[in-house]
């Protein structure tokens, strides 16, 4: 299918089905029920799932294949966002030109950063990319305020006059659109207590994510992708086999930078504003954690990791003390307070602690990420099934 091997085609179909049905799948609990706070099927969060999925897919092309650990990918996300919003300010509020512009600008920026950073490898490469990202952040925060809006960031105001759009009314805040349809427009489906929201912005982002995922599969299965794995494995042999590792690594760096720019452009398309904190080094670190948590070098892992982290960030962090009191209300008073005190550090503002513990467990016991965990469970189930099958075939002989 689309020039893919059947296994990869099935994977793409699976991801497509999950992405298209996400508003239903992520809302398994009826509205108003005690569990409904675990529902993740609201537009804002679903958009984040797929956009950060794109970011992680792109980062994985660099880190998963070549092994070069960039600690500055948030810079490309931020640059893409600024490029997208400027395209909206100057040309049109339509998201398509702004996303394309975001990808191009992020690509050029990553070419410059990559060309310089790739003069070194290993930890020095990571530090160089980190330095570039922090410089970008600081510049956006201070010196470049005329372009970036400094601390307050950028929005589309009524004073902006996009070339192709009609002027905004005084005081109105501009919202991005796709040929006139707002990204926030949704269709609500009520179904016997369940509530599903089908949001245009989410579906735009999901389609872009599926296209990105498709290209990532193509790259993974291409001779180019094999060369990138060769870069990770043995650059010395690459050289003596007549290959130049540098342009391959740089190409991977630029591709992953363009993916980050695409994600940045989409963030602006969904929520028409930018701030410099998007480029802060913790944002770069988050990308690394997403990919490692999900499984670096695998196709599905990065998307999974991105989803996990965004879920924790938005769902676990919303559980507060009174919700906990409710959960443990069935216990005797003293025990209830004790349980709340034990669990409390791990939820709400403490969600980083839960995430940190989970990350450590994954890195120590599943170096291949959550994907490896899934594979282990899968092979264990198969083995169990085989044993059962063997038992049933041997029994009649007794």
Partner 1 sequence: MGILEIKGVNKRFGGLKALDDVNLSIAENTTHAIIGPNGAGKSTLLNVLVGKLIPDSGSVTFDGQSILGRQPHEINQMGISRVFQTPEIFGDLSVFENVMIPCFAKRDGAFRMHAYESIFAEKAIQQQAEEILADVNMLEKRHMIASSLSRGDKRRLEMAMCLVQNPRLLLLDEPTAGMARADTQNTIALLKEIREKRSITMAIIEHDMNVVFSLAERITVLAQGTPLVEDTPDNIKGHPKVREAYLGEAQV
Report the interface residues with partner 1, using CB under 8 A. Answer: 3-5, 218-219, 221-227, 229-230, 232-234, 236-244, 247-248, 251, 255
Which is nearer to partner 1, 96 or 243 (by Cβ)? 243
The least distance separating partner 1 from the CB of residue 227, rounded to whole angstroms, comes to 7
CB nearer to partner 1: pick between 175 and 221: 221
Q: Is 345 left (phi over 0), alpha (psi -120 to 50) or beta?
A: alpha
Shorter beta-carbon distance to partner 1: residue 3 or 193: 3
| C-beta atoms surrounding 188 within 10 Å | 9
* Closest separation in Å from C-beta 225 to partner 1: 7
Q: Is 177 left (phi over 0), alpha (psi -120 to 50) or beta?
A: beta
Which pair of tokens denotes residue 193? 């207590």
Least distance in angstroms from the C-beta of 240 to partner 1: 5
Comparing CB distances to partner 1, the nearer of 175 and 232 is 232
By C-beta, is 221 or 352 nearer to partner 1? 221
CA dihedral sign of residues 154, 160, 163, 166? positive
**Closest separation in Å from C-beta 253 to partner 1:** 13
Between residues 226 and 381, which has the closer beta carbon with respect to partner 1? 226
Helix (H) or strand (E) holding 302: helix 301-314
291 near 301, Cβ under 8 Å?
A: yes
Q: Shortest Cβ distance from residue 245 to partner 1 (Å)?
A: 9
Residue closer to partner 1 by CB (options 171, 242) is 242
Cβ 213 to partner 1 shortest distance, Å: 15
| Cα–Cα distance, 361 to 377 (Å, whole number) | 16
Q: Which is nearer to partner 1, 61 or 106 (CB)?
A: 61
Neighbours of 345 (CB within 10 A): 11
Of 68, 65, 62, 119, which is closest to residue 230 (Cα–Cα)?
Answer: 65
- Smallest separation, CB 5 to partner 1 (Å): 6
**Cβ 251 to partner 1, closest distance in Å?**
6
Least distance in Å: CB of 250 to partner 1?
10
CA distance 280 to 159: 29
Locate the DSSP E strands across 50-145. Answer: none
Q: Provide the CA 151 distance to its chain's centre, in angstroms.
A: 24
How are beta strands 181-182 and 186-191 bridged, if at all? unpaired
Name the nearest CA neighbour of 264 among 250, 245, 283: 283
Q: Say which residues have a Cβ less than 8 Å from residue 6's Cβ, sequence separation at least 6.
A: none
Residue 47 or 66 having the CB closest to partner 1: 66
The alpha helices in 142-244, defined as continuous H runs, are 145-148, 200-220, 223-233, 235-240
């Amino acid at each position: 299918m689309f020039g893919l091997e059947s296994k990869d085609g099935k994977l793409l179909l699976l991801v497509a089905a999950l992405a298209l049905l996400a508003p239903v799948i992520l809302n398994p609990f009826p509205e108003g029920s005690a569990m409904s706070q675990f529902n993740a099927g609201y537009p804002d969060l679903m958009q984040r799932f797929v956009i950060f999925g794109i970011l992680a897919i792109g980062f994985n092309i660099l880190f998963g294949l070549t092994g070069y650990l960039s600690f500055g990918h948030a810079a490309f996300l931020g640059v893409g966002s600024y490029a997208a919003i400027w395209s909206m300010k100057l040309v049109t509020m339509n998201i398509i030109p702004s996303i394309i512009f975001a990808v191009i600008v992020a690509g050029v920026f990553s070419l410059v950063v990559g060309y310089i950073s790739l003069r070194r490898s290993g930890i020095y490469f990571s530090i160089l990319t980190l330095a570039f990202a922090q410089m970008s952040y600081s510049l956006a925060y201070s010196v470049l305020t005329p372009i970036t809006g400094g601390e307050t960031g950028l929005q589309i105001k009524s004073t902006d006059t996009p070339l192709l759009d009609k002027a905004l009314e005084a005081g109105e805040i501009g919202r991005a659109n796709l040929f006139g349809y707002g990204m926030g427009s949704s269709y609500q489906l009520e179904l016997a207590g369940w509530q599903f929201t089908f949001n245009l912005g989410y579906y735009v982002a999901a389609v872009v994510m599926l296209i990105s995922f498709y290209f990532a599969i193509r790259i993974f299965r291409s001779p180019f992708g094999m060369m990138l794995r060769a870069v990770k494995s043995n650059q010395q042999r690459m050289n003596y086999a007549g290959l130049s590792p540098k342009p391959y690594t740089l190409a991977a760096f630029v591709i992953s930078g363009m993916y980050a720019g695409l994600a940045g452009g989409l963030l602006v398309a969904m929520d028409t504003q930018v701030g410099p904190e998007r480029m802060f080094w913790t944002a770069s670190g988050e990308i690394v954690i997403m990919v490692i948590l999900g499984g670096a070098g695998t196709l599905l892992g990065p998307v999974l990791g991105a989803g996990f982290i965004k879920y924790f960030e938005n769902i676990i962090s919303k559980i507060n003390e009174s919700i906990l009191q409710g959960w443990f209300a069935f216990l005797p008073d003293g025990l209830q307070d004790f349980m709340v005190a034990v669990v409390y550090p791990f939820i709400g503002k403490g969600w980083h602690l839960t995430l940190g513990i989970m990350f450590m467990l994954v890195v120590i016991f599943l170096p291949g990420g959550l994907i490896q965990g899934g594979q282990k469970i899968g092979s264990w189930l198969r083995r169990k099934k085989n044993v059962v099958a063997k038992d049933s075939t041997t029994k009649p002989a007794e």
